[in-house]
Structure 1
Amino acid sequence: MFKFNRKTFTAFFTILLILPAFSKDFTSRKFLWRGVPGMETQIRDTVLYYCPAKTESPAPAVIICPGGSYHHLGMKHEGFASARWFNSIGINAFVLQYRVAYNEHHYPDQLQDIQMAIHDVRRNAQAYRVNPDKVGVIGYSAGGHLVTMAGAFSKRDTLSALGVSVTESLRPDFVIPVYPVVSMQDDIAHRWSRKSLLGHQWNRPNAVKGWSLLNPWGHAYSQELKDAFSMEKQIPSDMPPVFLLACRDDPVVMYENSVRLDQALTEKAVQHIFVSYDKGGHGFGMKENSSIMLREHWNQKDLLPWLIQIGVVER
């Protein structure tokens, strides 16, 4: 029986807020866990918003993961603003409202959500008018960590254990992390994102806990756990092509996160590009009136040529 608890109330209220503001930005929405036994309480926490491009033939697709420290989601400027731009260049967009720590969700829930989204888009490619061989992911901040996980952990099937019949590849065809959270290492980790993602896994054997001035979050994760989710340590040689963007003056997520990811991609000979700006900060997404968009037009100047280069968009 469906239980209406605090978590489901929060998710339902969030959707009520989103719908009036963004109903013009999407054609339809899907509750990805509907019909999956055992996931009844998760139904309204994970929503895929379909924002189609005006194309007649099957088009490329991108799944957009807003940021928010794995705690909340920037649906407007990182979600639907990005969808509008991708639509303008002929790419079908899907904005993913994935599960976050605000509603008490931690790993592996987020990876399950993005894998379910990739699987759904490919499985319903004909209905969505999508080319299933050109399905990529873009993520901002913590969402950048999530899409990097989607690329690096594509062989880590999290769906079958939930009873989902996996009939499609879970590997994205391209990955776009923008000012991403990358590392869980103490020297550069974005600690709010780390805490939100890993939750109380620090309370397992091989981990210690305790508050101190050097450890204000009160969590000291095991080195094994930090390494397991530090994406600079998890890049496989068959990682999909990557477009990485960051700003040196980022006041939220240390720029060194992207530097280490770039180094890891280079060491594994992964096809990628690292676009770096001296100024731009954090959290600008594709908000048209942000200073970096007005000054750099990074999506048009840097991202579009790369999408053409890797064959996603035709010239």
Structure 2
Amino acid sequence: MTINTFAQQKEVIKLWPGKVPGETGAKHPAELFADTSKNVKRITNITDPQLTVYRPTGKSNGAGIIVCPGGGYRILAINLEGDEVAAYFADKGYTVFVLEYRTPQKREGALQDAQRAIRLVRERASDWSLSKDKIGLLGFSAGGHLSLMAATSFTEQTYSPVDKSDKVSARPDFAVLIYPAYTANGAKKQELNPEIKVTKDIPPLFIFFTADDQNDLPLPLAGALRELNLPFEFHIYPKGGHGYGLRKGNNAAEQWPILAEQWLKNVLQFN
């Protein structure tokens, strides 16, 4: 496992020390996507998945959040739904890890990356003074879908073990899903996507969506959770659209972090 240290004490942890499972080509740095509209930095062609670590700016609360940016599995909106979010929660005492998972259109590989990321953070929890039972996910759009897949598929062995990190659990202790994509299925989008397996063992979920989001409402997911009497919190705001991250000027963007913070305090039993 390779660790590099950049300016401002940012640690970069490469997920796969050797061959990346399922990949045949050589590893190379992520590529910048030409579209930078709305001041969003987009990256793609990720072949060497990694975590960028944001340590708390003050006292650590002992919890770790792995952030999964969105981008339709084509790109990652790495500043909007990655770095900016990490800086925000690091300021609240969390140790945050921005996950650069494989793109474009490598969903199987992305799930492998998410599982590996959870295991690496949990196995090395003492390096960041984290509690091994307070490590979870925060995902946006496709990253929300990936977070949900990781939260519901943690018993599946999606890759061959690499090292001792793969002996620990890949189950996140919580998952925060902000405008998650690809959750509904069927002609009228009233059925849960069949790839999402909701069982009594999945962790607590926080779901935030807006009524004017053109993507499918995650109502079938909420219904499946309710049917099994599982712990979750679900918010639907009237306006906000999609892809707003934490950007000021959008009421949904300004409200979800407040709601998520309180929910996390309750789930993680913070004072």
TM band (smaller chain): 0.7 to 0.9
1:214-253 matches, cutoff 5 A: 228-229=194-195, 231=196, 234-251=197-214, 253=215
- Paired residues of 1:36 and 1:163 also in contact (CA < 8 A): no
Q: In the alignment, does 2:257 pair up with 1:299?
A: yes
Residue of structure 2 aligned with 1:278, choices 218, 238, 242:
238
Which residue does 1:121 correspond to in 2? 121
Secondary structure at the residue paired with 2:111? helix
Secondary structure at the residue paired with 1:297? helix
Secondary structure at the residue paired with 1:154? coil
Residues 83 and 57 (structure 1), Cα distance of their counterparts in 2 relative to 1, 3 Å cut: closer
CA deviation string 1:207-262 (max 9, x = no partner): xxxxxxxxxxxxxxxxxxx9542x2xx111111000000000003x12x2x11111
Query: Partners in 1 of 2:118 and 2:58 — Cα distance?
Result: 20
- Paired residues of 1:33 and 1:42 also in contact (CA < 8 A): no
Secondary structure at the residue paired with 2:138? strand
Structure of greater Rg: 1
Query: Partners in 2 of 1:42 and 1:188 — Cα distance?
Result: 41
Which residue does 2:15 correspond to in 1? 32
1:13-162 matches, cutoff 5 A: 24=8, 27-36=10-19, 41-42=26-27, 44=29, 45=47, 46-55=49-58, 59-101=62-104, 105-159=105-159, 161=160
Which amino acid is the alignment partner of residue 310 of structure 1?
V
Query: Partners in 2 of 1:304 and 1:87 — Cα distance?
Result: 12
Residue of structure 2 aligned with 1:268, choices 225, 228, 237:
228
Structure 2: unaligned runs, 5 residues or longer: 30-46
Query: Partners in 1 of 2:68 and 2:58 — Cα distance?
Result: 23
1:162 Cα deviation from its structure 2 partner: 5.2
Range moving further from structure 2, 105-114 or 179-188: 179-188
- Paired residues of 1:137 and 1:147 also in contact (CA < 8 A): yes
What percentage of residue pairs aligned between the two structures are identical? 30
Which amino acid is the alignment partner of residue 185 of structure 2?
Q
User: How many residue pairs were aligned?
Assistant: 244
Query: Partners in 1 of 2:60 and 2:93 — Cα distance?
Result: 10
Secondary structure at the residue paired with 1:246? strand
Structure 1: unaligned runs, 5 residues or longer: 1-18, 190-225
Residues 304 and 58 (structure 1), Cα distance of their counterparts in 2 relative to 1, 3 Å cut: closer
